[in-house]
């Protein structure tokens, strides 16, 4: 009798999703302007389940469908953004109720699409962002929504990561255009319908289906789209970034699916619990991250023995395609040739399945460790000391997450602090909550999702101008920055014969003077030659980065109070040279001495502001619905490259420099080509202060040439750029490999629109600056 009841319950459970699919004749079109549409002349693609059976078909959008969806979103933006915070929050709260009511249908469609997620998790997301929708104007009064936000996800991205972008964008008052991948197409279309049932106005949420890479580029090229955010695999993200470069659309990337994360077992760990975690994590059919197992040598044999015992009799895991099987076979064969030994649950069969496998005895440089193959294969490497374990954890070019296992709380916290990743789980793994920021480091992403910190990618300060939306320029990306500058002095000409003012630049704490053959003329507003300065290049950038690497770690590890005192000393040093700086500004820009003195005074005040903020910016302990404790804290990015604007020669330099080093970063600055003298005079201010040598470099030269050198250096984590439209386009195209965080400003457009007001005392300016200078780390510590 019990068995019959279970069978009836299962049939009833499946009927919800099946009836929804039948209602749409198993051919699902786009969701545009609050209704489904399915043009007759469009191609379709099949959606299959885990057994490769066709569930339904979806329509592939064309450019006109994307344009229609973007127009619908743009038309609805005014209505949605002008609603009160309470009204937007009410819609998201009702969505939580609607999700609860339709939880079985949502769960089944996610299961059919091979993107399983608990409806309770989606309900938690809706409730969390409903509260932020309510509080937006209270806590962020000087920030406004971006406009139309395009959310693009790759084929195997989960529904959780999709909604982690859609819901905060809507909560902040944006309208959203979704381009889902294959596994999220059905859930995205159903959720769009549920949003409508919750009372969202037509056009606020639109979904177009098809190839995510080509559609994403088409979406970004529509003039209504103001911002594009992507979640998924690195290869698709790179192709999307290069296709979108130059269209004037800011982009952010969360590349968690390509990330390789360390699972570190110290000798003080509960080994049974740690091995249980490995089994749960590593051998699932679908994983959010790739993992590498790192085990301390003193417990290596015990861990291996437990793995062998636990893996005995485990079934083969289905693979996505036969191609994955070929990749697995090749990777395992290569690892064995390099001395690896295998732990397998059973002998490998044939077809698109593979047994759970551990590759033991690998070197950190092995390809299977750097880039593990897809499927149920786990590389294992060993380490001797705790410090070496952390070093191995940072060995990967990625920085998404880490799981560390130890009963020593001090070791856990010290290791978590030292790991260059966005999320650290102590004695657990893969614990996620929207209250905790999920921040990719290095090649894992350049944005933050979740928490209050993740809201700011969907907002911009009311004073901040946006990039101009226009067609890309014709650029030779490989030759960018190689053209000769009009400021160059002919080789062999000796400037000292007729101009005594020879300035030096600051590279890695060392002065480099201008000399014949590598100098630039500095012109007065009337065209007369004022001085000569060095013409910096790739070698100078390389030297500056090498010096910055040596000093930045120590500067970051200093207490905030110590950094604050160094910045106060820098402000005091500038105050002592205020007259010389004012004269330099007047000479270079032809403004009155009184105006120049005002700029110097404001620069001193701005440095003091950053000195005061050093020990005031901190994280917290988010309140979470699950048991355990969590910490969230800002950390320094590393080495930044800053290309300064032409508008004011000193105040932008001081504002950006203060933000960068106050948060623990090192910075390489490129002054204005038109007005470099005040920046070069500022070198003497730096040298007279307590700022460590090498932390700040000031390199003069051609803006395009130095931009190209900064963009191609793998150590530089972020570039703040004020310059030409072509420069913005080059950076968007080039800074996806290696991935960098970009803050781009088209200076010609800002001059027309009276853009960045550096003299403003608006608090959102400093808020924006410090948020651009940090990344976020979350640490999760469970309770027993």
Res 499 pLDDT > 60: no
Phi-psi region of 248 (alpha: psi -120 to 50; beta: other; left: phi over 0): left
φ, ψ at 317 (rounded to 5°)? -100, 130
One domain for residues 229 and 294: no
Q: How confident is the model at residue 227 (pLDDT cuts 50, 70, 90)?
A: very high
Q: Are residues 342 and 234 in the same domain?
A: no
The Cα–Cα gap between 355 and 332 comes to 12
- Please identify, among 225, 254, 283, the residue that sits at the C-terminal boundary of a domain: 254
Euclidean distance between CA atoms 220 and 204, whole angstroms = 17
529 versus 291: which is more confidently predicted? Answer: 291
> Is there a domain that residue 757 lies in?
no
Strands of 302-426, DSSP E: 317-318, 341-344, 353-354, 357-360, 377-383, 398-399, 401-405, 423-426
The domain containing residue 100 runs over which residues? 25-254
Residue 186 belongs to a domain:
yes
Average pLDDT score, the chain: 87
Asked whether residue 628 is assigned to any structural domain, the reply reads: no
Assigned domain for 19 exists: no
DSSP percent split of the chain into helix, strand, coil, nearest 5: 45, 20, 35
Q: 207 vs 33, 68, 254, 400, CA distance in Å?
A: 9, 11, 20, 28
pLDDT of 595: 92
pLDDT at 165 over 50: yes
pLDDT in tens, 6-60: 333 333 334 677 888 888 878 888 999 999 988 888 888 888 877 778 888 888 8
- Alpha carbon 284 to its chain's center: 26
CATH number for the domain that contains residue 517: 3.40.605.10
Q: Quick check: is 493 in a domain? A: no
User: Which band of pLDDT confidence, cut at 50, 70 and 90, is reported for residue 756?
Assistant: low
Residue 253 reports pLDDT greater than 90:
yes
Q: Is the residue at 457 inside a domain?
A: no
Q: CA–CA separation, 504 vs 512, rounded Å?
A: 5
Nearest alpha-carbon partner for 643 in 713, 714, 743:
743
Helix H segments across 409-537? 409-418
Which residue among 396, 423, 443 closes a domain?
A: 443
- Predicted TM-score (pTM) of the model is 0.91
* Interval 550-591: pLDDT, tens: 999 999 999 999 999 999 999 999 999 999 999 999 988 888
Condensed to tens digits (0 to 9), the pLDDT of residues 389-401 reads: 999 999 889 999 9
Q: Which of these ranges, 152-166, 245-259, 499-513, has the smallest mean pLDDT?
A: 499-513
**77: in domain:** yes
Domain assignment present for residue 461? The answer is no
**Residue 753 scores a pLDDT above 70:** no
Instruction: Give yes or no: residues 296 and 333 share one domain.
Output: yes
Residue 487 confidence (pLDDT): 46
Lowest mean pLDDT among 135-144, 404-413, 456-465, 520-529: 520-529
The pLDDT value recorded for residue 734 is 93
Q: Does the pLDDT value for residue 4 go beyond 50? A: no
SS3 782: coil
- The per-residue pLDDT for 503 is 65
Average pLDDT, stretch 703-720?
A: 94
Tell me: pLDDT of 477 over 80.
yes
pLDDT tens profile 584-631: 999 888 889 999 999 999 999 999 999 999 888 777 788 777 777 889
Going by pLDDT thresholds of 50, 70 and 90, the confidence category of residue 2 is very low
User: What is the rounded average pLDDT of the residues 346-362?
Assistant: 85
Give the β-pairing of 353-354 and 341-344: unpaired
The model's confidence at residue 513, banded by pLDDT at 50, 70 and 90, is: low
Q: Are 39 and 60 in contact (CB under 8 A)?
A: no
413 and 528, same domain (yes or no): no
What pLDDT sits at residue 353?
85
- 783 or 65, which is more confident: 65
Considering the domain architecture, whether residues 381 and 396 belong to the same structural domain is answered as yes
Pairing of strands 54-59, 175-179: unpaired
Q: Are 584 and 723 within one domain?
A: yes
- Residues 133 and 85 occupy one common structural domain: yes
Residues 708 and 730 in one domain: yes
pLDDT at 3 over 60: no
Domain match, 182 and 65 both: yes
Could you report the per-residue pLDDT of 265-299, keeping only the tens digit for each? 999 999 999 999 999 888 876 777 889 999 999 99
Please tell me the predicted confidence (pLDDT) of residue 5.
Answer: 38
Asked whether 59 and 27 are in contact (CB, 8 A), the reply is yes
Asked whether the predicted pLDDT for residue 501 surpasses 70, the reply is no
Q: Is the domain of 85 the same as that of 157?
A: yes
Assign 96 a pLDDT band (cuts: 50, 70, 90): very high
Domain count, the chain: 3
Which residues, including other chains, have CB under 8 Å from residue 466's CB and lie 6 or more apart?
226, 248, 250, 460
pLDDT one-digit tens code per residue, 687-703 = 999 999 999 999 998 89
pLDDT of residue 6: 39
Same domain assignment for residues 298 and 239: no
What is the rounded CA–CA span in Å between residue 732 and residue 729? 5
Indicate whether 225 pLDDT > 80.
yes
Of 220, 254, 288, the position where a domain reaches its end is 254
Longest Cα separation, the chain? 105
Q: Is the pLDDT of residue 751 over 70?
A: no
Residue 9: count other Cβ atoms within 10 Å of its Cβ.
10
Percent of the chain residues past pLDDT 70, beyond the cut: 93
Same domain, 225 and 293: no
pLDDT of residue 324: 82
Give 749's pLDDT tier (boundaries 50, 70, 90): low
Contact criterion met (CB below 8 Å) for 710 and 743: no
Which residues lie below 8 Å from residue 616, measured CB to CB, with a gap of 6+?
none
Work out the percent of the chain whose per-residue pLDDT is above 90: 55
- Stated as kind and residue range, the H or E segment containing 661 is helix 651-662
């Amino acid at each position: 009798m019990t068995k019959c009841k279970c069978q009836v319950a299962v049939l009833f459970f499946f009927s919800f999703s099946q009836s929804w699919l039948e209602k749409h004749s198993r051919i699902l079109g786009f969701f545009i302007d609050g209704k489904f549409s399915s043009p007759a002349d469009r191609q379709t693609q099949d959606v299959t389940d885990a057994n490769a059976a066709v569930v339904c078909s979806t329509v592939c959008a064309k450019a006109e469908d994307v344009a229609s969806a973007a127009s619908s979103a743009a038309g609805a933006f005014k209505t949605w953004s002008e609603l009160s915070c309470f009204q937007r929050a009410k819609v998201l709260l009702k969505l939580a109720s609607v999700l609860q009511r339709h939880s079985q249908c949502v769960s089944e469609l996610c299961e059919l699409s091979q993107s399983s997620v608990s409806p309770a998790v989606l309900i938690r997301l809706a409730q969390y962002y409903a509260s932020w929708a309510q509080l937006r104007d209270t806590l962020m009064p000087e920030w406004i929504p971006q406009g139309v936000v395009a959310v693009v996800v790759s084929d195997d991205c989960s529904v959780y990561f999709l909604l982690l972008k859609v819901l905060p964008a809507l909560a902040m008052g944006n309208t959203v255009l979704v381009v889902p991948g294959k596994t999220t197409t059905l859930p995205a279309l159903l959720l769009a319908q549920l949003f409508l049932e919750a009372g969202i106005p037509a056009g606020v949420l639109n979904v177009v289906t098809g190839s995510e890479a080509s559609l994403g580029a088409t979406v970004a090229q529509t003039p209504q789209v103001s911002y594009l955010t992507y979640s998924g695999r690195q290869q698709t993200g790179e192709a999307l970034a290069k296709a979108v470069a130059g269209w004037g659309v800011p982009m952010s990337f969360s590349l968690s699916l390509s990330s390789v994360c360390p699972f570190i077992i110290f000798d003080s760990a509960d080994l049974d619990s740690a091995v249980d975690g490995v089994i749960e994590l590593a051998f699932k059919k679908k994983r959010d991250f790739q993992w590498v197992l790192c085990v301390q040598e003193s417990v290596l044999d015990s861990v291996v023995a437990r793995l062998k015992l636990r893996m005995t009799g485990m079934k083969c895991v289905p693979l996505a395609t036969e191609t994955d099987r070929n990749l697995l076979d090749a990777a395992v064969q290569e690892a064995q040739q390099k001395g690896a030994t295998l732990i397998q649950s059973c002998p490998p069969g044939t077809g698109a399945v593979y047994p759970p496998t551990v590759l033991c005895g690998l070197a950190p440089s092995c390809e299977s460790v750097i880039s593990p193959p897809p499927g149920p294969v786990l590389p294992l490497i060993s380490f001797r000391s705790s410090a070496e374990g952390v070093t191995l954890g940072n060995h990967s070019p990625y920085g998404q997450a880490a799981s560390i296992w130890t009963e020593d709380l001090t070791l856990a916290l010290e290791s978590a602090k030292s790991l260059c990743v966005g999320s650290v789980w102590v004695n657990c793994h893969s614990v996620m909550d929207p209250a905790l920021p999920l921040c990719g480091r290095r090649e894992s992403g350049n944005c933050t999702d979740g928490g209050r910190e993740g809201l700011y990618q969907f907002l911009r300060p009311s004073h901040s101008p946006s990039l101009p939306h226009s067609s890309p320029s014709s650029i030779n990306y490989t030759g960018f920055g190689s053209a000769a500058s009009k400021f160059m002095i002919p080789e062999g000409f000796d400037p000292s014969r007729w101009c005594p003012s020879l300035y030096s630049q600051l590279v890695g704490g060392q002065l480099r003077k201008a000399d014949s053959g590598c100098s630039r003329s500095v012109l007065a507003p009337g065209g007369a030659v004022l001085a000569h300065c060095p013409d910096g290049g790739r070698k100078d950038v390389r030297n500056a980065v090498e010096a910055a690497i040596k000093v930045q770690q120590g500067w970051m590890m200093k207490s905030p109070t110590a950094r604050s005192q160094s910045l106060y000393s820098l402000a005091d040093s500038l105050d002592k040279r205020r007259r010389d700086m004012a004269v330099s500004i007047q000479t270079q820009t032809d403004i009155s001495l009184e105006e120049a003195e005002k700029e110097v005074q404001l620069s001193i005040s701005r440095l003091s502001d950053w000195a005061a903020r050093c020990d005031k910016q901190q994280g917290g302990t988010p309140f979470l619905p699950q048991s355990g404790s969590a910490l969230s804290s800002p950390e320094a990015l590393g080495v930044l490259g800053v290309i300064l604007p032409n508008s004011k020669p000193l105040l932008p330099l001081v504002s950006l420099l203060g933000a960068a080093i106050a948060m623990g970063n090192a910075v390489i600055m490129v002054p204005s080509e038109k007005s470099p003298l005040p920046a070069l005079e500022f070198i003497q201010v730096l040298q007279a202060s307590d700022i460590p040598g090498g932390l700040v470099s000031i390199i003069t030269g051609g803006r395009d040439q130095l931009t190209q050198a900064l963009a191609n250096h793998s150590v530089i984590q972020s570039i703040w750029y004020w310059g030409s439209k072509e420069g913005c386009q080059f950076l968007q195209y080039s800074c996806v490999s290696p991935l960098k965080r970009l803050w781009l400003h088209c200076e010609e457009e800002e001059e027309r629109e009276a853009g960045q007001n550096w003299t403003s005392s608006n608090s959102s300016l400093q808020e924006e600056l410090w948020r651009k200078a940090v990344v976020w780390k979350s640490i999760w510590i469970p309770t027993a």
